[in-house]
Structure 1
Amino acid sequence: MTETRATIAAAARRILEDEGVAAVTMRRIATECGVSAMTPYWHFPNRETLLEQVCQEAFDEVAAGWRQRTTKQDPLADLHATTDLLLDFALHRPRLYDYLFTAPRPAARRYPDDFAAGDSPTLNVLIEALRNGMRRGVLRDDDPVGVALTLAAQLHGLIALHHGGRIGLPDDEFRALCHRNLERILDGITG
């Protein structure tokens, strides 16, 4: 990626994180970067392509961070660590989280094909932890993609309720609620 292209993508991400996706315009990015109004178009044909670049970079970054924090030794601890990492991301970068995980996007990965094909950098980390748990006999043998979808849907649903003001708990209590719900699910799938 050229330096200018990277600068444009970084500006788009910064605006998205600070103000939300509606504030990300090609003209605004050009102004932020100190370049002509046409420069962003030389590197990205349109806003949607630029936003997908931002998404891909963010997903890869989040997944790499998750992989570094999972041990592969204790599958249940890895599931809790992955939960904490997603909560950290959702609570500290809510606009980027919402755009990545819940906003309609043309190139968003979809169940079942994209997830089963291993095309989701973040869900893959969860699927790996589940497969590890199933291999070790800690978790009951099941479809790891389906179980990952169940866990992700539960957690994303709670985060959406929290972001929408429907769960009136401080962040630390909300985090504890998420872990209690994870334990409820794990109780049903432990070997």
Structure 2
Amino acid sequence: MSPKPRATDVKARLVEAAIRLLDENGPEALQARKLAAEVGVSTMAVYTHFGGMAALVDEVARAGFVRLSGRLAEVGETGDPVADIFSLARSYRQAVAEQPQLFAVTFGQSAPGGKRATLFDLTTEEGREGAREGLEAFTYIVRATERAIAAGRFRPTDEYQAAAQLWSALHGFVTLEASGHFGPGEQGIDHILIPLGITMAVGLGDTVEEAGRSAEAARAAWRARTGNAGQGENE
């Protein structure tokens, strides 16, 4: 007789199964019955391990932030913090493009079964206290912003609020791109995302010339890391 799986193992399997269902069939598929069948447990297991679907959705959102943090961690830091912001934007955009359904739940844009993930204001100390996984992902943008301020590229300002402005612009692009507003493939990167990033950097205190050079440095770093210029990028 095979050993009974530990509760933590079942819980992790349920979260992974929920992400698979989202990826394959969208938020409508995230139901206790379908989830239990995917894992091979009873429907009651969902309620035993999470107390209900609302808590499961929160766990899925946390898993999304963990995945996003992992992608942003791959970027690393260079001597050009503004280039690093452009590189973080590319990695962020790529992660969301690969799993749009997961990140729609993660960012509260999708509410499977009417259950929306609990969200926090990451620009306040109170909000940051309850958002460990989301804060970790946001911190990569904050740290690069803080370094840009220290380097004199951005004006002295609150790094969390400046990073939130950058995040807002980036996520707005990603959301619209996912909806098909910027055409197929990656053509929106050159025509929308990079100019948007330059505009935001200049608004925060950078020069057009320096921001443009940083954007080009990030493009070169992306090509070197992925071996792919992207369908929408100029050769």
CA positional deviation for 1:144: 1.3
Matched, 1:57 2:63: yes
- Asked if 1:184 is matched to 2:199, the reply is yes
Show the counterpart of 2:128.
117
The answer to which of 169-178 and 102-111 deviates more is 102-111
Separation in 2 of the partners of 1:2 and 1:161?
Answer: 37
Q: How does 1:60-79 map to 2 (within 5 A)?
A: 60-79=66-85
Displacement of 1:21: 2.0
Runs (4 or more) in structure 1 with deviation over 4 Å come to none
- Once the two structures are TM-superposed, the CA of residue 114 in structure 1 deviates from its matched residue by 5.9
**Map of 2:167 onto structure 1:** 152
Cα deviations by residue, 1:102-133 (Å, 9 ceiling, x for unpaired): 41635112254368737422221101110011
Residue 12 of structure 1 is matched in structure 2 by 18
| Partner of residue 137, structure 1 | 152
* d(CA) in 2 for partners of 1:6, 1:150: 34
Cα gap change, 1:72/1:60 in structure 2, threshold over 3 Å: closer, same or farther?
Answer: farther
Matched residue, 1:165: 180
Deviation at 1:179, TM superposition (A): 1.3
Aligned: 1:83 with 2:89: yes
The residue aligned with 1:108 is 119
RMSD across aligned positions (CA): 2.2
Deviations 1:35-91 (A, max 9, x none): 122122221111111111111122022113312312153201210111101110121
Amino acid at match of 1:59: F
The answer (yes or no) to whether the contact 2:148–2:154 under 8 Å persists in 1 is: yes
Q: Which amino acid aligns with 1:152?
A: W
Partner of 2:221: none
Q: Which amino acid aligns with 2:158?
A: D
1:174 aligns with 188
2:37 to 22, 28, 31: 31
**Cα distance in 2 between the residues matched to 1:36 and 1:143:** 49
Query: How far 1:160 sits from its partner (Å)?
Result: 2.1
Corresponding residue for residue 218 of structure 2: none
- Number of aligned pairs? 190
Q: 1:116 to 1:53 in 2, by over 3 A?
A: closer
Residues 1:116 and 1:82: Cα distance change in structure 2 (over 3 Å): farther
1:175 offset after TM fit, Å?
1.6
Query: Which consecutive unaligned segments of at least 5 residues does structure 1 have?
Result: none
Determine which structure has more spread, i.e. the larger CA radius of gyration. Answer: 2
* Distance of 1:165 and 1:62 partners within structure 2: 22
